[in-house]
Structure 1
Amino acid sequence: MSAFDALSIANSALGAHQTWLDALAGNIANANTITSTDDEAFQATYVIFQSQAGGGVDVAGFAGSDPEGVLVQDPANPLADEDGFVRAPAMDMSSEMSQLIMAQRGFQASVQVTKTAQDTYAAALQIGGR
């Protein structure tokens, strides 16, 4: 492992966690998006990660939730069908919020690793400069 591998790994983790946070923000913002029963429901975005050969993580792709969503009875909604149903996203808000906390903590940990590595490298340069 070279001296800069820690920075490279932490940098890949920062990018992955930022992508995860962005996806979760979109999911949470659209949790109450209602459509007619003729349309597809909002599809939550889930990030798929994979490990890198030399350490770190990459975003391998994205997956979407079920476009069928769930049917909710809301006869007062202008998008309701003749039976009073509308389509809502098939999302569990408690799961989304739990994932948000995990993504935030992972991002914070990656920032701390980056700061610690930078401080260590700066201290090493100071030792060599004396």
Structure 2
Amino acid sequence: MGFFDGYNVATSGMSAQRTRINVVSANIANAQTTNTIDGGPYKKQDVVFEEILLNKAQKANNNDIEQSNNKNTPAELRGVGVKSIVQNDAEPIMRFEPAHPDANEDGYVAYPNINPVIEMVNLIEAQRSYEANIAAFNTHKNIDTKTLDILKA
């Protein structure tokens, strides 16, 4: 394990959670958006994470199965990344509001199928995960600082 590996893992987690926080915030902000550029109500978005190799030099031409069976091969450093941001295809919520400018001919308005309470829980979860990665980063920094102090003495 390299000197900066712990930092790399923690920062990959922080970057992924920052993306999640941005997407969830956009969902909350657009929970009442009934008309978008594409037409129709805003569609909720979700972040899909994936495991990534942080050691790119070792990634080329490696076979994970062969590596997992060989006990002499060092484990590769893995982190988390954003695989994609996907739109939720849930049906919109129809509300009877005939005076609304986006009402259809029957007087119903299509609202995004976004529950603000669930989105707030997702936001808090992402924030806590971000904070946990900060704590891991700081712990690694403190360990390195103590190690350097011992080596200086």
User: TM-score, with normalisation over the residues of structure 2?
Assistant: 0.77
Residue 75 of structure 1 and its aligned partner are, at CA, apart by: 1.3
Please say if residues 41 and 67 of structure 1, whose CA atoms lie closer than 8 Å, have aligned partners that are also in contact: no
Mapped partners of 1:108, 1:27: distance in 2:
21
Q: In structure 2, give the amino acid aligned to 1:75.
A: P
**Structure 1 residue 92: Cα displacement:** 2.1
Residues in 2 aligned to 1:49 and 1:82: alpha-carbon distance in whole angstroms: 41
Task: Calculate percent identity across the aligned residue pairs.
Answer: 32
Does the CA contact (< 8 Å) of 2:34 and 2:40 recur in 1? no
Q: Which residue of 1 aligns with 2:50?
A: 50
Structure 2: segments with no counterpart, 5+ residues: 54-76
* Offset of residue 67 of structure 1: 7.1
Partner of 1:102: 125
The residue type paired with residue 115 of structure 1 is N
Aligned to 1:28: 28
State the match for 1:90 in structure 2: 113
Computed over aligned residues only, the root mean square deviation of the Cα atoms, in angstroms, reads: 1.9
Q: Where do 4+ consecutive residues of structure 1 move more than 6 Å?
A: none
> What TM-score, normalized to structure 1?
0.90
- 1:58-96 CA-partner distances (Å, limit 9, x unpaired): 101110022752222111212212211111111222221
Q: Looking at both structures, which has the greater relative contact order when contacts are Cα pairs under 8 Å and sequence separation is at least 6?
A: 2
Q: What stretches of structure 1 of length at least 5 have no aligned partner?
A: none
Q: Whose Rg is larger?
A: 2
